[in-house]
Structure 1
């Protein structure tokens, strides 16, 4: 087993086995080694068939977990030496995990609790990451002991290195393992990792590849006070993060602010400063124009296109408790830019959020309906584009029957161009526009029935 875990290709078999016995599927970027990912098709989704969860399979997972925590040290430790620990197996906490000792002639095991080599080797680190995730989704009681061992032997700061970054941030494999642990670990593990590894170092970490660990730290925060500490340490550098293409950190902060319902007003104010928007209420397109083009990485700087990070940021801001500034800015966009937003692969999702966000009221949606008038003559060009057709459906969902009829009539004028297109033909069939051309009253009745069905279905799904 040790040989398999450390082998680039054989470890993939171990990781797949862990998913099968647990019934938990993990993302492809964890279940595959870096070398394997580089050789695979970039468009693959990494999904695979998983057996149904069974008690016998869970016992296999339990045994594997207990054994890996009892493995002796094997070479390749990156720095320093790791001491050993004498543990009375029958009286130790490990003995409570369900592992039956097969060493009847030896009551004391001399063990290295968890070799740092596991976290610092690419193949074995991927196995540990997979194990963490499958335990979180199946045998949760085994996860805290495993994370405690990782923290003690692989993550914690070594003596004499207080003025340098901990070694875990100097190794990509170990850092990725830490990120996974932060995403699913308990609040106790989170607090220990924050105090020992991150506190007081966040800005320095953001200047290196360790910024991804900072993003995981922010994303895994569940306590308002702890998040406020992190926020205040990073706040003086917000402008630098935005101007130097480190929007991934800002996106993580925005999502945490939305999730924990704190620091939202301050964060929006900082974005207004960054966008140089002179209107404090955001009645200017400059706010959304700036945010949509936020770069997630300094390596992608120089592009003036809508970015995935920027789109996600706008969507997150629209879910804030009081998103009026972003709403005002979005509805201030010129008609051509609004259409470009709807047709953009990343920007089209903004419309989905505008329609579905519980923070956006009917008055704001009425303003959007009125804004549709500025798109007159552009509706057809929007509906025949893949991403534009998605935004079109969202616009249709919030429109009243009169607005729908106006939009439908515009499409019927250009029926040949619209219905002859793959996406346009779907729009025509889905919304019954052929019926609108023949019998408008029947079409209006049909639309009313469809609206009632959606409301009924939504209410049915919302019932606990």
Structure 2
């Protein structure tokens, strides 16, 4: 769960950089093909028009200064497509431009596209370029129907996502949305009632057309994506199109839930009801497109009809997931094994046979989605029929260890978790050795969330990392071994500043356990210089937050850590991640210790002001005021505190 926080910013940055590179390469290739007389894939367009859309993509790549500029460009571009909407949208270059701008066109242009595409649904749904434009049109029409007041939960966390009191306070990365983002523009712009009605009719019309032609479109890669967008729209679930790249659990995680017109839920319910009657239904999870469609339906039903979700999920489980099929090739392999060495044969015979679901990636992804959205009864059935007795084997397999992680992240019944822990507890060392560190992190996260097996979890990690409590010298290095997820013998030689993401998360979980004193002492006994190096990393900086915010770590221990870092606050303050640590320490410190921190920063003010991160703290902590008068600085600190108290009790006083 918390990995979503620490990894989200890094992942988003990587995606943005990758997207920029891909866009630049795409434009370079497009210009190169134009010189050869090839004007994009798909339908043929003339040289002038091709160059016009290439220039549009170039301008879009550099961004827009304000919303009005983007809206004007969108309307100008769409004006060039009059009476050629479908023909132009079926060209690769034009499709890319239209898809990027359609969210900002006025009602007249969008409705013109509704009419043009509405007369050509069948060819458009299967066209590899025009289908992208249609998919985007459904998304934009859906947003325009809603309006900003229809958002059920502004955090994007719909009912059914697990949240507990014991979980970390900051669970999601805060992502700033530009004021002229596509979603905010379409939700907040005051479109006419007539236009909203047209948008509503378009979403319904596309959905019903796809519903009536399911046999043709379930396995069609282009139409399948439009169908998935339509299904989510009918449920009031908005997922940015980019989330479809990964699918499954990522869609469930990145969704926002809106209130939609009443009749939409009835159209949605027909999709699962029709599909489950097909004789091919048991094969759906084992084919990429049909599996993704089932996953999307499950996410949509979680928001609209939990009873139907339970029925549909059980149908998938009973008809498809629990199959145990053996192909002729597997039979031959088994016969060959019988001829091999007896010991080898015994080893293979002892391996638990897995249900068919665990042999196909598409089916495993669907299972992960079901685990994320399932209610208590369906979840218990999934665990009992698919995982019970097989957890160890599944956790060690490359294809299935992520399903085990999803199981641990969503498991609710304490008895079920105890059984899972008993199966996995002795495998921690092997899981770390083969690189399945995510399973170990999910296991410790579940111990925190459910308040169970916490002491046993620490013992299992100590055993796996060769730092037993009986050996005091080795036990002291437990913190160092966990953040690197390496055993004592290897970690001792590792002097780098590397902090493993899952190692950091495991430390954060343990610090929030009911009795984290062993790890607390390990951290406080670590040299301050080494801690500064750890805290100066993206993964290590979050450890300080967990230490200072844990309700099971006492005031004295927090003070010790803050004092322990004396002499290193300037080194931390001038870096991106270290400055976060300084801010956290300052917020948690007593008044006298706050003075110590600011004095240390004031003594090296030139160094502090030499980086943007240091300058930020210089202004925030009013270091200049401290340099001029420490007494005045303390007085302002008291004034700020009083203002906060006044704000806190303002409503009560009134």
TM range (shorter): 0.7 to 0.9
1:147 counterpart SS class:
helix
Check the 8 A contact 1:276/1:286 in 2, yes or no: no
Structure 2 residue aligned with 1:294: 485
1:9 counterpart SS class:
helix
Alignment of 1:125-136 (within 5 A): 125-136=291-302
Structure 1 residue aligned with 2:600: 410
Q: What are the superposed Cα offsets for residues 288-337 of structure 1, whole Å, 9 maximum, x if unpaired?
A: 11111128xxxxxx996211111111111111111111111111111111
Determine whether 1:190 maps to 2:368: no
The CA RMSD over aligned residues, in Å, is 3.1
CA 116–404 in structure 1, closer or farther in 2 if over 3 Å, else same: same
Structure 1 residue aligned with 2:267: 63
Match of 1:321 among 514, 520, 523: 514
CA 147–460 in structure 1, closer or farther in 2 if over 3 Å, else same: farther
How far apart, in 2, do the equivalents of 1:55 and 1:143 lie? 20
How far apart, in 1, do the equivalents of 2:294 and 2:444 lie? 30
Quote the offset at 1:225 in angstroms.
1.2
CA 275–457 in structure 1, closer or farther in 2 if over 3 Å, else same: farther
CA 11–430 in structure 1, closer or farther in 2 if over 3 Å, else same: farther
TM-score, normalised relative to structure 1: 0.78
Alignment of 1:240-259 (within 5 A): 240-259=430-449
Determine whether 1:139 maps to 2:322: no
The number of residue pairs the alignment matches comes to 401
How far apart, in 2, do the equivalents of 1:155 and 1:457 lie? 56
Gaps of 5+ in 2: 1-209, 328-350, 487-492
How far apart, in 2, do the equivalents of 1:434 and 1:326 lie? 38
Check the 8 A contact 1:245/1:294 in 2, yes or no: no
Structure 2 residue aligned with 1:167: 356
Determine whether 1:157 maps to 2:323: yes
1:55 counterpart SS class:
coil
CA 66–460 in structure 1, closer or farther in 2 if over 3 Å, else same: farther
Q: What are the superposed Cα offsets for residues 159-190 of structure 1, whole Å, 9 maximum, x if unpaired?
A: 77995211100111111111111122122222
Structure 2 residue aligned with 1:343: 536
How far apart, in 2, do the equivalents of 1:266 and 1:423 lie? 41
- Deviates most, 330-339 or 243-252: 243-252
Determine whether 1:310 maps to 2:503: yes
Structure 2 residue aligned with 1:101: none
1:183 counterpart SS class:
helix
Gaps of 5+ in 1: 38-45, 73-110, 296-301
Match of 1:372 among 565, 573, 576: 565
Structure 2 residue aligned with 1:90: none
How far apart, in 2, do the equivalents of 1:443 and 1:331 lie? 30
TM-score, normalised relative to structure 2: 0.56
Quote the offset at 1:5 in angstroms.
4.1
Check the 8 A contact 2:234/2:268 in 1, yes or no: no
2:281 counterpart SS class:
coil
CA 282–270 in structure 1, closer or farther in 2 if over 3 Å, else same: farther
| Structure showing greater Rg | 2
How far apart, in 2, do the equivalents of 1:458 and 1:241 lie? 48
1:6 counterpart SS class:
coil
1:435 counterpart SS class:
helix
Structure 2 residue aligned with 1:205: 394
Match of 2:228 among 6, 12, 15: 15
CA 273–388 in structure 1, closer or farther in 2 if over 3 Å, else same: same
CA 23–67 in structure 1, closer or farther in 2 if over 3 Å, else same: closer
- Deviates most, 251-260 or 408-417: 408-417
Structure 2 residue aligned with 1:92: none
Structure 1 residue aligned with 2:590: 400
How far apart, in 1, do the equivalents of 2:642 and 2:219 lie? 58
CA 400–260 in structure 1, closer or farther in 2 if over 3 Å, else same: same
Quote the offset at 1:232 in angstroms.
0.9
How far apart, in 2, do the equivalents of 1:290 and 1:340 lie? 15
